[in-house]
Structure 1
Amino acid sequence: MSLDAFITGLVFIIIHLLTNHLMPASRLQRLRWLSFSAGIAVSYVFVYVLPSLHEEQADFGEQREEFVMESELYFIGLLGLLVFYGVQKLADHISRDEEGVKLEGPFFWIQIAFFTVYNMLISYIVIAADVEGVQAAFYSIAIGTHFIAVAHDLWREDARRYNRLGRFIMAGGIVVGWLSGMFIELSSFMLSIIFAFISGAMILNVLKVELPSEEDAHFPTFAMAAVGYTAIVMALKYFFEW
C-alpha cells in the first residue's frame, strides 16, 4: 500500500471521529458548507464515478467475452442502488410503531450498521485501487466531503449516541475496508463488480442524503463547488491523462 493510500484511509477515519467538530456552528455557515460538499459530491459522480463505470464496463467486456450486452456493470450499479434504498426503506418501516410514529432507537442503529458496511466497501475500493499523487488528493477530497455529509446527517439524528458509540463503529468500518484493501487482493473481475455495486449506492446517497432540501440549500455555493471541482478535475485529467 502506498503512502497516499495510507494517508487517505487515516483522513477518512478522522472525519468520522471529528465530524461534529468540523461543522460550523452558525446555521448559514453550516448550510453553505453542506451545499459546498453536495456540489463536490455531485461533480464527483459525473466526472469520475460514471466515466469510471464506463471504463470498467469496457474492460469487463474484454475479459468476459460471453457477456455481450455491454451493460452488465450498469445493472450491478442499479442493483447496488436498489439494495441500499431498499434497506433504508425497510429500516424506516420496522422502526415505526403501529401508528406510524418513528421509534428513535432502532432506526438510528440500523442506519449506523448500513453506513458502516457502505464505508467499508468504499474504503476497500479506494485502497485496493492504490491511487497516488494529485489524483488521490482530489478523489479523496470528494469522498471525504461525502463522508462528512453522511456522518453529519447521522450526528443530527442522534448526537449523543453518535458521539458515544456510532462514530467509532463507522470509523471501524473504514478500518476493516482499509485493512482488507491492504491484505486481500481480488481479481479485476471482482473489483469491477464491487466498484459498480458501490457506485450505485453512492449515486443514491449523493442525491438522497447530500443534496440539501430547497429551504436548506445555498445554490451559489453549490454551483461554485460543482463547477469549480469539475473544471479542476477535467483539467488534471487532460494534462495528466488520468
Structure 2
Amino acid sequence: MASVFIVIFFLIIQVFANRIISSSSLGKIKWMSLAGGIAVSYIFVYILPSLHHEQDDFGETAFELAMESELYFFGLIGIVVFYTLNKLAERYRYKKGTPVEDHFFFVQICLFFVYNMLISYIMFAADQTIPQLMFYGVAVGLHFMAVAHDMFRENNQKYRKYGRYMLAGGILSGWLIAEFTPHSPLVLSIVFAFISGAIMFNVIKNELPSEGSAHLPTFIAASFGYSAITLFVKIVFEW
C-alpha cells in the first residue's frame, strides 16, 4: 500500500514539476542545484555501492565461471545507449526540410518514457523496506523533476500538452510491471545495472548545473547533506 502513495508522489512531481518550481520561493536555480546535488550524492552513496553488491550476487548465482564486471558492462551499455539515442535525437535539430522540433521531441519523449518506466520498475521490484522506498524516493522524485524541467525547456508547449503525461505513464507502467509480474533476480540485476548507467549519464548531462545556472552553496549542501544522512541511516538501520 505504501508503494501506491510513493507512485502518486512521483506522478504529482512529474505532471506538476514546473508549476512546483515556478511557484516555490526557492527559485529555479536553487531547485536545480538542490536536485543536482542530491542526484550526484545518490549515485555515489547508493547506486555504485548497490551495483557492487549486485555484481557480487550476480557472480555467485548467474555463472559458474563468472567474471567480476558483467553488471558494470551492462551499466556501460546504459550510458552508451542513452548517449547514442540522445545524439541521434539532436540531429533532428539541424536537419533541414523536416518538422525538427516534432521529431526531436518525439524521440526524446519515447526515450524518457522507457527511462522512467525502468527506474520505477527497479525501484518497486527491488527488495526494499518501506522506509528505504520513502527515503530513496526523495532522490528519485527530484531526479524526475529535473528530467521534467529539462524536457520543458526543450519544448514547453508539447511538454505541457502531452509530454508530461507520457512521462508519468512511464512511471505508472514501471510500477504496474513491478507489482503484477514475477521478479527474476537475474533480470533485476541486469535492469538495475543498465538503468544505473543511464541515470549517471543523465545526471551528468542534465543535473550538474552550469556556471550560469548554479547556486553553489545549495549544490554543495545538498551533495554532502544527503550523503551524510544516507550514510547515517545505512549504519543505524543496516540498510
The AA in structure 1 aligned to 2:220 is A
* Length-normalised TM-score, structure 2: 0.95
Summarize deviations over 1:166-192 as a string: whole Å, max 9, x none: 111111111111110001113101110
Question: Which whole-Å CA distance do the structure 2 matches of 1:27 and 1:203 have between them?
Answer: 29
Q: Are the counterparts in 2 of residues 120 and 175 from structure 1 also a CA contact under 8 Å? A: yes
Unaligned runs of 5+ in 2: none
Give 1:10-89 correspondences, 5 Å limit: 10-24=8-22, 29-89=27-87
- 1:46 deviates by 0.3
Q: Are the counterparts in 2 of residues 125 and 195 from structure 1 also a CA contact under 8 Å? A: yes
Structure 2 residue aligned with 1:170: 167
SS in 1 for 2:22: coil
- 1:136 deviates by 1.5
Question: Which whole-Å CA distance do the structure 1 matches of 2:99 and 2:150 have between them?
Answer: 17
- 1:25 deviates by 5.3
The AA in structure 2 aligned to 1:59 is D
Structure 2 residue aligned with 1:183: 180
Q: Are the counterparts in 1 of residues 14 and 144 from structure 2 also a CA contact under 8 Å? A: yes
Residues 137, 27 of structure 1: alpha-carbon distance in 2 compared, 3 angstrom cutoff: closer
- 1:10 deviates by 1.5
Question: Which whole-Å CA distance do the structure 2 matches of 1:82 and 1:102 have between them?
Answer: 27
Structure 2 residue aligned with 1:219: 216
- 1:43 deviates by 0.2
- 1:154 deviates by 0.7
- 1:28 deviates by 7.7
Structure 2 residue corresponding to 1:113, chosen from 97, 110, 114: 110
Over the matched positions of the two proteins, sequence identity in percent amounts to 51
Question: Which whole-Å CA distance do the structure 2 matches of 1:167 and 1:210 have between them?
Answer: 18
SS in 2 for 1:161: helix
Question: Which whole-Å CA distance do the structure 1 matches of 2:175 and 2:62 have between them?
Answer: 28
Cα RMSD of the aligned pairs, angstroms, is: 1.9
Unaligned runs of 5+ in 1: none
Give 1:140-179 correspondences, 5 Å limit: 140-179=137-176
Question: Which whole-Å CA distance do the structure 2 matches of 1:218 and 1:171 have between them?
Answer: 28
- 1:98 deviates by 4.3
- 1:144 deviates by 0.3
- 1:68 deviates by 2.9
Summarize deviations over 1:78-132 as a string: whole Å, max 9, x none: 0111001100001111342249x99222111211111010000000111111523
Question: Which whole-Å CA distance do the structure 1 matches of 2:71 and 2:142 have between them?
Answer: 26
Q: Are the counterparts in 2 of residues 4 and 131 from structure 1 also a CA contact under 8 Å? A: no
* Length-normalised TM-score, structure 1: 0.93
Question: Which whole-Å CA distance do the structure 2 matches of 1:178 and 1:135 have between them?
Answer: 16
